[in-house]
Chain A
């Protein structure tokens, strides 16, 4: 049972364009939503994260938009560059109880290719 649904599976964007990746979740107990970026042959690395008390978070060219009522969040990459070509994963977690660790549930990933 997939708790975080991610789309599209792959995306091709021209240099300078906007890349948009969408995620949806069902578990209303999720309260932390990070995005990870993975280059070939490497492990994922945290790109940006948001908590549901805000509707948008921006870091440089990367923006997360969050819609709590729709249980959706998305990553926007402005002015996309060839160096942004990578696989992007959305994720979600709940707050763990005392003495436990909360765990990330990942989406299935989006392979982004930015062409010249």
Chain B
């Protein structure tokens, strides 16, 4: 049982380049999330999808876009990467439409460096 799978594990971008972080879950969960983790700042919500077909902004959405491709997959796109987006990105999923009240299952993260 793979759980939440994120690709790639590591990525280095130059300022202005674009890329898409991929996330897939095999637990038939309704809700999916993208968080970024920075030292001393904890985990901050970028975007989330309460259910297939819906997406909403979180705490720090600027510079990012998301796509809920189907129930399994939720991608995060950086259109024009900036050094401030250097971070570790985590995708998570949860079972119910009342999202965070059921446990979040996290992937192992994508470590992104923007030079």
A83: Cβ under 8 A from any B Cβ: no
- State which of B35, B98, B106 has its C-beta within 8 Å of the C-beta of A101: B98
> Residues of B within 8 Å of A, CB-based: how many?
31
Decide if A103 touches B104 in the complex (CB within 8 Å): no
Decide if B100 touches A32 in the complex (CB within 8 Å): yes
Decide if B100 touches A104 in the complex (CB within 8 Å): yes
Nearest CB of A to B21, in Å = 14
Contact A41/B43 with A96-B98, A102-B98, A102-B99 known, Cβ cut-off 8 Å: no
A96 to B42, CA, bound (A): 22
Nearest CB of A to B90, in Å = 5
Contact A103/B40 with A43-B92, A43-B106, A44-B106 known, Cβ cut-off 8 Å: no
- Given A36-B104, A46-B103: 4 more A-B contacts, CB < 8 Å: A9-B40, A101-B49, A101-B51, A103-B58
Q: Which residues in A have some Cβ–Cβ distance to B below 8 Å?
A: 6, 9, 32, 34, 36, 41-46, 49, 89, 91, 93, 95-96, 99-109
